[in-house]
Structures are given as C-alpha cells and as structure tokens.
Amino acid sequence: MLDYPDVVSQLHEEFLRAGSDVAVALTYYAHREKLRVVGRENDLEKINRQAVCLARRAAEKYEALVAGNICNTWAYKPDDPKAAKEVRRQYAEQVGWAADEGVDFILAETIEYVGEALIALEVIKSFDLPAVINFGPIYEKSKDGYNWVEACKILADNGADVVGYNCARGPETLLPLGRKLRRAVGSTIALVPVPYHTDHDAPSFQFLKRRGADSAYTLGLDQHYIDRIEAAEFAVEAQRLGVGFIGLCCGAGPHHIRAMAEALGRKPVASQYSPDMSRHGLLGSEKVVKAHEKQFLGQWK
C-alpha cells in the first residue's frame, strides 16, 4: 500500500475492467491488532487513508463505488466490556478515516461473533454510512452460538443495509446458506464465497487438504480452484435466488469476475479480450482448424 501503490492501483483497475461494481479499499486487517504483529502499527492511519485514495481514484475512472473495509479484530471477547471498548475503538479509527476519504459504504466482513458485528454496525451508522455486514461461516454457528441465518437476521433487524456471508466457504457449500437466508430476511443479501471446491466433508476452505498431505490452507489451495465457468454458474444461481450483492473472496482473479459479469448479462471493458474459442487452432470451427493444420504442415515441411 505504501511501498508500491502503483501495483495496488493496477490491481483495482484489473478488477474494475473485469466488471466489478465496487473498488474495495485494501484495509482488511489494517487495524491495530494485526499491524502490531508485523511492526507497522505506526503506519496505521497512513495505510488506511492511502488505501481509500487508491480505490477511489480507480473507481472514478470506471464509475464504480468505493467501499471502506473492516473485519474481525481478534480483540473481541463475549461479555467483556473492556474488549468491546477496544473493538469499538479500532473500528472507529478505520471507519473514521474511510469516511474522511470519501467512501460510499463500509464492508464489514469475515466476522464470526454477532456481538462484534453489532459493534461494527453501530460504528458504521455513527458515521452515517451504509453498512454491509458479512459473516465468515467457517463453522455451523457463530462463535457466540447463533446459527448463521439468525445472526444475519439480528443484524438486519438492527439496521444493516446488506447482510450475508463471505469467505470460508466455496460456492457449493455457501449457496445452501444463501437459500435459507433469502427465505428469512427481506433486505438485500450478500454471497461472496472463496473460489475453491468445498463440500460436505470440508465445508470451509480452512478444512481442505493438500493431495496426500496435511492442510492446504492457505498456501496449498491451488489444486482446489474453481474455474471461470463454475464462477459464472455460481453468479447466475445467486442472482436467481435473489442475491443482490454477488462476488468472490480470497484467491479470486479478474478472469473469474469477468466471467461472472458476462454471465449476468453485462459487458465490462475487459470483455473485448474474452476468449473466442471458435478461433482456436484445435478447438475452433472446422474451417479454422484446417487453416491452422495447413499452416502448421507447411512450416513442418
């Protein structure tokens, strides 16, 4: 964020060209608790402000929205007023800087406690910003004992503009939660899975294994990737369910987002570079294949 801002700007542009409607400021874990671990706590404000500025500049070029970003703090403890005060302080810092720099809304994500999510919502609303609250459903319930639909309903009832889930689960194991949630709440819901194959045995990518080895999380996940076709299929199914906030989380690439956008009937800037397999030398039309064969044989002779 600070050392190579041009790289971050390019990353934003790639996803916006691919069809994203939102540039999310890269402030995930840019809070005191985590930056202290890597010795960058003194850069806290600088990182947060720079992140929003970079996202906003990219978003302006593509008429997209800008989201400030907060997440689980690792400081929350149920029934601990001191911990709640610290969480509120950390959220107020980040949301305050994001509001100063001109975000359109705040995305609070991968939260595992309803109590922590309620603090996030309270802080976001204190700055008069729309709030998207997404739980990270690693397990079957929140860490303070709520099933995930009940957790989302509590946040919706308390004024969250969008509620739902992101991260942890891939499309196959997140969509069932989305179906239950759509039936339970009337507000806009979000489904933002990770782009990996999760299933009944490993409902979250934290439980995936490397081939013949131990945990794949997080550096050995490549073998579990979904492809762009599966990403598009997820987007279509999510839209069919009535999901209004659709995306992908950790590990997604611009090609996934472009395929999703196109499957939803859009034509983003990057669509001019979408593959046209009819022109492929081996997989294209008979005419194209024969032309390639003739060219190849001529070179071989």
- Structural tokens at position 80: 């601990």
Q: Which CATH number belongs to the domain containing residue 262 in this structure?
A: 3.20.20.330
CA distance 7 to 30: 18
pLDDT of 144 over the 70 cut: yes
For the residues 79-99, what does the mean pLDDT come to? 97
Q: Tens of pLDDT along 190-200?
A: 999 999 999 99
| Whole-number pLDDT of residue 290 | 77
- Residue 281: CB atoms within 10 A of its CB come to 12
CB 241 within 8 A of CB 182: yes
| Whole-number pLDDT of residue 300 | 55
CA distance 43 to 87: 19
Q: Tens of pLDDT along 269-297?
A: 999 999 888 888 888 777 766 776 676 66
3-class DSSP state for residue 28? coil
CA distance 194 to 143: 20
Residue range of the domain that includes 35: 5-300
Lowest mean pLDDT of 29-33, 72-76, 78-82, 231-235, name the range.
29-33
Number of domains in the chain: 1
| Whole-number pLDDT of residue 280 | 84
Closest CA to 94 of 112, 109, 78: 109
CB 81 within 8 A of CB 36: no
| Whole-number pLDDT of residue 285 | 79
For the residues 52-70, what does the mean pLDDT come to? 97
Q: Which residues on adjacent β-strands are paired with residue 147?
A: 141
b/e 221-244 (16+ beta carbons within 10 angstroms → b): beebbbebebbbbbbebbbebebe
| Whole-number pLDDT of residue 292 | 66
HEC-encoded secondary structure of 147-182: EHHHHHHHHHHCCCCEEEEECCCCHHHHHHHHHHHH
